[in-house]
Amino acid sequence: MAKDAKHAAAQSPGLTNRKAFHEFEILERFVCGIVLAGPEVKSLRLGRASLDEAYARLKNGEMWIVKMHVDEYRDRGQVKLEPARTRKLLLSKHEIAVIGEALERQGLTLVPLKLFWNERGIAKIEIALARGKKLHDKRESEKAKTAKRDMARVMRRF
């Protein structure tokens, strides 16, 4: 891949899981690599994926992302891949140990927040240890967001 193409890929916005910020209280974030097949990379570069229902899990000392939907690439040739298959995440052993301990001890969830391309053009996922919000917490978040928006609107007028 040419340097300009890598630079353009690094500047592309990627995918975000906006629903995660509404449903969960984000405690700690980790950036990790993801194992993808060739057609999946091409599909991701076109933005044809979704993190909405995805979550990560620890299984046999390895981290996996489940229910991340990546549409099939149209010109894939003979390769046929399941769109919502489980994909391996690449983390160091130390990070996996920290996450595993937090999952067991505190009863937290691993939620993907963002999929992006680093400066070398490699796909990365930002996952977070999160705790589910209660209904009243969601209402408080909405009130705070609305108040901040109203304050900004008033400040622009003057």
Q: What is the mean pLDDT of residues 73-102?
A: 82
Side chain identity at residue 142, one-letter code? E
* Residue 42, domain member (yes or no): yes
How many domains is the chain partitioned into structurally?
1
* Residue 68, domain member (yes or no): yes
pTM of the model: 0.73
* Residue 155, domain member (yes or no): no
User: Which residues constitute the domain of residue 28?
Assistant: 3-133
Domain with residue 105: its CATH number is 2.40.280.10
* Residue 55, domain member (yes or no): yes
* Residue 147, domain member (yes or no): no
* Residue 70, domain member (yes or no): yes
Least confident of 7-11, 99-103, 120-124: 7-11
Can you give the pLDDT at residue 113?
Answer: 92
Handedness of CA 9, 41, 62, 113 (dihedral sign): positive
Residue 90: in which H helix or E strand, if any?
A: strand 87-90
Nearest to 52 by CA among 22, 80, 31, 30: 22
- CA-based max dimension of the chain: 62
* Residue 97, domain member (yes or no): yes
Mean pLDDT of the chain: 83
Q: What is the pLDDT of residues 40-73, one digit of tens each?
A: 888 888 888 888 888 899 999 899 999 988 888 7
User: Beta strands of the chain (E only): which ranges?
Assistant: 15-16, 24-34, 49-50, 55-59, 62-66, 69-70, 87-90, 109-117, 123-132
Which of helix, strand or coil describes residue 21? helix
